[in-house]
Amino acid sequence: MVQADLNIRQDRAPIRQLDEGAINRIAAGEVVERPAAAVKELVENALDAGARRIEVAQADGGKTLIRVSDDGCGMTADDLPLALARHATSKIDGSDLLDIRSFGFRGEALPSLGAVGRLTIASRAAGSDAAEIAVTGGRMSGPRPTALNSGTVVTLRDIFHATPARLKFLRTDRAEAQAIADTVRRLAMAAPQVAFTLRDVSGGGEGRVVLRADAETGDLFDALAGRLARILGHDFADNALRIDATREGLRMTGFAALPTYSRGAAVAQYLFVNGRPVRDRMLTGALRAAYHDLLPRDRHPAAALFIDCDPRLVDVNVHPAKTEVRFRDPGLARGLIVSGLRHALAEAGHRASSTVAGATLGAFRPEPTGARVYQMDRPSPGALRAAHIAQAPGFAEMQTAYSGRVEPGDDGTPAPDARDAQAHPLGAARAQLHENYIVAQTGDGMVIVDQHAAHERLVYERLKRQLDETGVRAQALLIPEIVELVPADAARLLHAADDLARLGLVIEPFGPGAVAVRETPAVLGPCDASALVCDILDELSDTGDSLALRARIDAVLSRMACHGSVRSGRRMSAEEMNALLREIETTPHSGQCNHGRPTYVELKLADIERLFGRT
C-alpha cells in the first residue's frame, strides 16, 4: 500500500498572513496544553504582581472553571485591553532577554487563554476604580466598571470551547484535578511567604479545600521547612537534610531526604531555578547521580532543591511553557548538585529515616488486651523487685538495667555496663539474636542491627576510600578493541576521555567515527569493552555525564564487600558487636546497606511501651 505524503502539494498555495485569532489559538497550543498549564500561568502572574494571598478554584478538573484570585497590585481600566494583547507585558522592556527576574515575560498567557476559552478579568489598582474585561474566543468586550476591593480575579470558563478537538486529548476530571494540585504545590514551595488555597468547586457552592498553605515566617530555611512539611508531610521534614552549597556563582539550598526515606517513583523530586519550578533532565539526572550507590534501582530519592544564580547564567526562554532551562555551564550546575548532596549525605553519617522505625512498629501484632491498665494501677518499683525475687530461681538475678545478656569476651572481660549506652548514639550491645541481629540498648530505647548488612556497608565504604586514594588500576589490552560509532558520538565520548581515564578506561581516536579502547579497569576483570563504551555513550547523551563506568566499579566493590563482611550465622562476642556499633556511628552512609535497605532500626522506649498498652 502506498501512503500519500500529506506535506507535498501538486499546486502552488499562496502565502497569506494568519489573522490574530488563529495566531492566538496556535500559541495557546504551546502555552496552554491542559488546565494545569492555565493555572500555572495565572498563579505566576499573581506572584509577579506581589500577591501575598492566592486562591485557586477549579471545577471538573479545570475544564469548566478556573478562577485565580489574588491581592496583588492589580491593573487599571486602561491596562486591561493591553493585558490581552499578544506580547504585551509589564515585566520586561525587551532590552535584555537574559536578565529575566520574573516568572512571566512573554506576554502570551492571557491572550492565549482568551483565544480558547471564555476569559474574564476583574482588577483594581491602588487609587483607581475596579474594572472588568471579558474575551470569548478572541472577541473582546469592555472594560466596564465592577465591584472589587483590591487585587485581581481571573476567571476562565469552558477551556478549549473554541478548539473543541483539544478537549478529546484531555484526561479524566480526576487526573486533570491532580495535575492542577501538583502545579499549585510546586508554586507554593517556590513562595513560602505567600498563602495558597486550592478549592474544588465542582457542583457549585464553596466547594472543598484541597490544599491550604498559610504564609510561613522566619528565615529562608525555617520558612521553607514549614512549607515543605505542610505540602510534602512531616515525614519528609523529619527525614530531610538541610542543603546549602555554593560553587562559582551558583547556590543550591533546600532539603534532600535520607536514602532510607526513598520512593517507588520519581514523584517527590522538586527542582527550582531562581524560584521557578522546572522539569529538567540534566538536573534530575544529577539528583539521581548523587544517590547512585545509596539506593536500589527501583527506588528514587525525594528532594526539594533551589538553585539560585545571576539570571544571565541561565536561559529560561527555551520553551513557551518556561519549564525548561539551559545553563551557560551545565557541568557546573550538575557538579553543584552532585557534590552538595553527597557532602550532606556523608555528614548525616549513620542516620536512618524515622519511617523505618514506624514501619517496624506497624509490623508488630500485639495481642488484643482487655481493660486499659492505667499508671496508678501498676505496682511501685519496690513492689516489682520484691515480686521478682519471689519468682522462679534465676529471674531474681536479672535485676540489672537491661533484660538481655551478651557473651563475655574470650579474655573473660565482662560485658559493657548499661551506663555506656547513654554515651553512644547506637548504644551498647546487649544480645545477639539468631546469630544475625544485634540488640543494643540506648538511653531512651533500643536498636536492632543487621550485622551482615551493616558490616557490608562498612567494608564497601572502606574499599571506595582506598580506591579514591590509590586510583583505579588499569589493565592494558593485548589487542586494542575498536568500537565503531557515529562521528558525533565518537566526539562526545572523546570529550570525556580524561574523566574516563581516571576511572581506568583509556580510549583514543581511531579514524573518523571510531575509538580504540586500550585499557580497561583492572577491577572489572575481563569485560566487553564495546558494550561498556555504548552504555557510557547512552548516559552521556541522556544526562550529559556518565556514571555507568563508576557504577560498574562500585558494583564490583559491593560484591567484594558482601563476600568479605561478617556473615549471617556467625556468633559475635560483646567486644565485636560494640566495635561494629562504634564503626557504624563514624562511617558515612552506614544507615543503609549497599542495596539501599536499612542497616538498623531504632525503637524509642515510648513506642515500645505503647505496643504493650503502657500509656
56-65, 160-169, 370-379: least confident range: 370-379
Query: Cα 429 to the chain's mean position, in Å?
Result: 36
11-20, 259-268, 422-431: least confident range: 11-20
47-61, 132-146, 396-410: least confident range: 396-410
* Per-residue confidence (pLDDT) for residue 367, from 0 to 100: 53
* Per-residue confidence (pLDDT) for residue 134, from 0 to 100: 93
Domain map of the chain by residue range?
Answer: 20-211, 220-348, 457-564
* Per-residue confidence (pLDDT) for residue 365, from 0 to 100: 57
Residue 94 has pLDDT above 90, yes or no: no
pTM over 0.95: no
* Per-residue confidence (pLDDT) for residue 3, from 0 to 100: 55
Tell me the pLDDT band of 27, cut-offs 50, 70 and 90. low
Topology of the domain comprising 457-564: Ribosomal Protein S8; Chain: A, domain 1 (3.30.1370)
The string of DSSP codes covering 78-126 is: THHHHHTSTT--SS--SS-TT---SS--SS-HHHHHHHHSEEEEEEE-T
Helix (H) or strand (E) holding 156: strand 151-157
* Per-residue confidence (pLDDT) for residue 371, from 0 to 100: 47
Biggest CA-to-CA distance, the chain: 109
Beta bridge partners of 481: 517
How far is the C-alpha of 575 from the C-alpha of 580, rounded, in Å?
9
**At residue 118, what are phi and psi to the nearest 5 degrees?**
-100, 105
CB atoms near residue 8 (< 10 Å)? 6
User: For residue 43, which of 177, 183, 234 has the smallest C-alpha distance?
Assistant: 183
* Per-residue confidence (pLDDT) for residue 374, from 0 to 100: 46
**20-211, which class in CATH?**
alpha beta
* Per-residue confidence (pLDDT) for residue 74, from 0 to 100: 93
- The 8 Å CB, 24+ separation contacts for 3-10 are none
Q: What is the pLDDT of residues 281-338, one digit of tens each?
A: 889 989 988 998 888 778 899 999 999 999 889 988 777 667 788 898 988 999 999 9
How far is the C-alpha of 288 from the C-alpha of 295, rounded, in Å?
9
* Per-residue confidence (pLDDT) for residue 35, from 0 to 100: 93
Residue with cell 469552558: 158
**Do 20-211 and 220-348 come out as alike in CATH topology?**
no
Beta bridge partners of 273: 276, 307
How far is the C-alpha of 167 from the C-alpha of 162, rounded, in Å?
10
**220-348, which class in CATH?**
alpha beta
Q: What is the pLDDT of residues 57-90, one digit of tens each?
A: 999 999 999 999 999 999 999 999 988 887 777 7
User: For residue 435, which of 325, 563, 568 has the smallest C-alpha distance?
Assistant: 568
Mean pLDDT throughout 493-507? 87
* Per-residue confidence (pLDDT) for residue 93, from 0 to 100: 59
User: For residue 163, which of 107, 113, 106, 111 has the smallest C-alpha distance?
Assistant: 113
Residue 376 has pLDDT above 80, yes or no: no
Tell me the pLDDT band of 545, cut-offs 50, 70 and 90. low
* Per-residue confidence (pLDDT) for residue 8, from 0 to 100: 54
How far is the C-alpha of 478 from the C-alpha of 534, rounded, in Å?
21
HSE-CB of 70 using CA atoms within 13 angstroms: 24
Alpha carbon distance, N-terminus to C-terminus of the chain: 78
